[in-house]
Amino acid sequence: MAGYRAKPQRLLRLKGKQYQFQIGIPLACRAYFKGAKNVIENTGTGDLMAARRWRDKREREMQDLFADIRSGRLVSDEAAMVAREGELAREAFRKSEDADEQWLIVTNAQDRSEQLERKPELQATFDKTWSGQEEVDAHVDAWLKEIRLAAKTTADYRGIINRLTTWCKTKNYTIASIDRKAAGKYVAGELLDPEKMTRVTAKKHLTAISGYWEHLRVRGHSDHLKGSSPWADQIPQERGKQGVKDEPERPFSDEELQKLLYLDTPSKRGQPAWVSELKELALLSTLSGLRISEITGLTVEACQADAFDLSKAKTEAGVRLVPIHSKVADLVAKRCEGRSGKALLFAEFEDLPNAPDTLSKAFTRRRKALGVHEGREGKRRSLVNFHSFRRTFSEKALHADIPEAFIEAVIGHIGDSKGKKSVLRKSYAVRGESWEQRVRCVEAVTVPPPDNNHEQ
**Into how many domains does the chain fold?**
4
Please give the pLDDT value at position 54: 85
φ, ψ at 11 (rounded to 5°): 65, 10
Using the 3D structure, point to which of 131, 149, 167 is the last residue of a domain.
131
Query: Is residue 90 within 8 Å of residue 117, measured between CB atoms?
Result: no
Estimate to the nearest angstrom the gap between the alpha carbon of 130 and the chain centroid: 34
d(CA 117, CA 112): 9
Pick from 71, 96, 111: which residue ends a domain? 71
Residue 258 shares a structural domain with residue 189: no
Query: DSSP labels for 382-397?
Result: -SSSTTHHHHHHHHHH
pLDDT for position 450: 85
Quick check: is 226 in a domain?
A: no
Do 21 and 114 belong together in one domain? Answer: no
Which of 285, 342, 353, 269 minimizes the C-alpha distance to 311? Answer: 342
pLDDT for the residue 425: 44
Q: Is residue 171 assigned to a domain? A: yes
Q: What is the pTM of this model?
A: 0.58
Residue 44 lies in a domain: yes
Residue 314 pLDDT greater than 70, yes or no: no
Within-domain flag for 199: yes
The residue out of 131, 151, 171 marking a domain boundary is 131
Contact between residue 19 and residue 48 where contact means Cβ atoms under 8 Å apart: yes
Backbone angles phi, psi at 246, to 5 degrees: -85, 105
pLDDT of residue 71: 64
> Domain check: are 438 and 304 in the same one?
yes
**What range does the domain containing 328 cover?**
254-443
Distance CA 257, CA 454 (A): 11
DSSP 324: P
Do 55 and 83 lie in one domain? The reply is: no
Percent share of the chain, pLDDT over 70: 86
Q: Using alpha carbons, list the distances in angstroms from residue 311 to 127, 321, 411.
A: 49, 8, 14
Residue in 63, 297, 230 with CA at minimum distance from that of residue 158:
63
> Do 147 and 117 fall into the same domain?
no
Q: Looking at residue 300, what is its pLDDT?
A: 92
In a domain, residue 167? The reply is yes
> Distance between terminal CA atoms of the chain?
39
CA distances from 95 to 91, 112, 196 (A): 6, 20, 44
In a domain, 455, yes or no: no
Pair (332, 429) in one structural domain: yes
Q: What is the pLDDT of residues 404-450, one digit of tens each?
A: 988 988 998 765 444 444 443 444 444 567 889 999 999 999 999 98
Task: Read off the pLDDT band of 4 (50, 70, 90).
Answer: very low
Q: Exposure of 404 by Cβ count < 10 A (0-12 exposed, 13-18 middle, 19+ buried)?
A: exposed
Confidence band of 213 (pLDDT split at 50, 70, 90): very high
pLDDT tier at 2 (50, 70, 90 boundaries)? very low
Report the pLDDT value the prediction gives residue 241, as an integer from 0 to 100: 52
Q: In which region does residue 328 sit, left (phi positive, over 0), alpha (psi from -120 to 50) or beta (all else)?
A: alpha
The confidence score (pLDDT) of residue 317 equals 59
Handedness of CA 192, 195, 196, 199 (dihedral sign): positive
Same domain, 34 and 109: no
Q: Is the pLDDT of residue 133 over 70?
A: yes
The pLDDT assigned to 248 comes to 85
Nearest C-alpha neighbor of 198 from the set 377, 380, 383, 374: 380
Residue 284 belongs to domain with CATH number: 1.10.443.10
Q: Is residue 173 located within the same domain as residue 275?
A: no
What's the confidence (pLDDT) of residue 102?
81
Beta strands in 126-227 (DSSP E): none
pLDDT at 389: 95
Whether residue 185 is found in the same domain as residue 58: no
Tell whether 35 is covered by a domain.
yes
Whether residue 127 sits in one domain with residue 42: no
Lowest mean pLDDT segment, chosen from 282-296, 308-322, 330-344, 435-449: 308-322
Average pLDDT, the chain: 82
At residue 246, the pLDDT reads: 62
Each residue of 76-119: pLDDT tens digit?
667 777 877 887 887 787 777 888 888 888 888 888 888 888 88
Q: Answer yes or no: is pLDDT of 31 > 80.
A: no
User: Is residue 223 assigned to a domain?
Assistant: no
- In this prediction, residue 173 carries a pLDDT of 86
Is the CB of residue 189 less than 8 Å from the CB of residue 163? no
> Hey, which of 152-156, 388-392, 409-413 has the most confident mean pLDDT?
388-392
Residues 86 and 27 in one domain: no
Is residue 89 located within the same domain as residue 54?
no
